[in-house]
């Protein structure tokens, strides 16, 4: 099990770095595959509760979303969302399906396709792959810090019903670990002011932990341990990218906001 976990981690990290460095349609393709695979896991989990989300339609909309995000033209994300809403409403009316299926399908689309598509946006703005790598560093350092600090001094449970092993001490430790690593990363490879780096570390680290808790709640509600078994030793794609669902859009909008207001100073 340990060897499988290590090997899987090496392969995942290698794919991420290769995609980020090469960029272009290779990265777009990897993000598309990630979203399509995660949507399949989401649909399979909901099926256990008796809900049938329109996976083929969601898959098509996901491809459209990522493709449009690749061009990153102003309100392109909002336009893609409008198109998706209209398509889902047309599907609901034409099939006369249960509204719950539509609602859960929409939630899954927002949680996976829309949110993870910002990995493409991050690759295409400002410092490019350095920003995308920053998003992954935020996730990885927060997870590692929360795990280590939680194991050492974690006493106060954060959400015992949803995720019994998570503690407030671990959550705070993960955020502080993220702040330290992101500060060093910014010092050597980027050049943002210290206050903005602190905001990014705080908001994105907390957002990532919220994403982790949301997926834990979903799995507990459905009654499964892992979202899937695609990645040996790790579970499914949603298990590995649950934090990124919240981190990618949060980081993107923080950067857009910063660059929007910085022109006035």
Whole-prediction pTM: 0.90
First-to-final CA distance of the chain? 54
Q: How confident is the model at residue 226 (pLDDT cuts 50, 70, 90)?
A: confident
> Over the stretch 168-184, which tens digit does the pLDDT of each residue have?
999 999 999 999 999 99
Residues 60 and 56: their CA atoms lie apart, in Å, by 6
For 260, the enclosing helix (H) or strand (E) is: helix 244-262
Query: Residue 74 above 60 pLDDT?
Result: no
Given a contact cutoff of 8 angstroms between Cβ atoms, the answer to whether 27 and 124 are in contact is no
- Number of domains making up the chain: 1
Determine the angle formed by the axes of helices 55-69 and 76-95, rounding to 10 degrees: 160
Determine the 3-state secondary structure of 139 from DSSP.
helix
Question: Token pair 């950067």 is at which residue?
Answer: 255
Domain containing residue 112: 2-262
Given a contact cutoff of 8 angstroms between Cβ atoms, the answer to whether 205 and 212 are in contact is no
Reading the block at residue 214, the tokens are 């949301």
For the CA atoms of the chain, what is the radius of gyration? 19
Which DSSP symbol is given to 52? -
Given a contact cutoff of 8 angstroms between Cβ atoms, the answer to whether 40 and 55 are in contact is yes
Residue (of 247, 134, 254) closest to 185 by Cα position? 134
Residues 163 and 151: their CA atoms lie apart, in Å, by 14
Residues 36 and 113: their CA atoms lie apart, in Å, by 8
Q: How confident is the model at residue 252 (pLDDT cuts 50, 70, 90)?
A: very high
- C-alpha 21: how far from its chain's center? 19
Residue (of 137, 128, 140) closest to 255 by Cα position? 128
> Over the stretch 108-145, which tens digit does the pLDDT of each residue have?
888 899 899 999 999 988 778 999 999 999 999 999 99
With a CB cutoff of 8 Å and minimum separation 6, the contacts of 33 are none
């Amino acid at each position: 099990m340990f060897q499988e976990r290590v090997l899987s981690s090496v392969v995942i990290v290698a794919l991420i770095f290769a995609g980020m460095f090469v960029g272009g349609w290779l990265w777009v393709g990897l993000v598309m595959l990630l979203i399509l695979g995660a949507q399949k896991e989401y649909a399979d989990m909901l099926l256990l509760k008796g809900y049938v989300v329109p996976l083929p339609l969601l898959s098509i909309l996901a491809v459209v979303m990522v493709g449009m995000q690749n061009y990153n033209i102003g309100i392109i994300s909002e336009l893609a969302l409008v198109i998706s809403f209209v398509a889902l409403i047309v599907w609901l009316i034409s099939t006369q399906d249960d509204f719950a299926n539509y609602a859960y399908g929409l939630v899954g689309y927002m949680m996976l396709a829309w949110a993870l598509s910002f990995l493409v946006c991050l690759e295409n703005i400002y410092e490019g792959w350095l920003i995308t790598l920053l998003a992954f560093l935020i996730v990885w350092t927060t997870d590692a810090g929360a795990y280590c600090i939680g194991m050492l001094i974690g006493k106060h449970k954060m959400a015992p019903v949803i995720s019994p092993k998570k503690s407030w001490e671990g959550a705070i430790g993960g955020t502080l670990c993220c702040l330290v690593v992101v500060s060093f990363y910014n010092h050597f490879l980027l050049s943002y002011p210290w206050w903005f780096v602190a905001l990014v570390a705080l908001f994105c680290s907390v957002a990532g932990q919220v994403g982790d808790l949301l997926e834990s709640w979903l799995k507990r509600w459905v009654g499964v341990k892992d979202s899937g078994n695609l990645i040996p030793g790790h579970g499914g794609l949603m298990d590995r990218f649950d934090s990124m669902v919240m981190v990618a859009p949060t980081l993107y909008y923080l950067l857009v906001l910063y660059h929007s207001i910085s022109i006035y100073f």
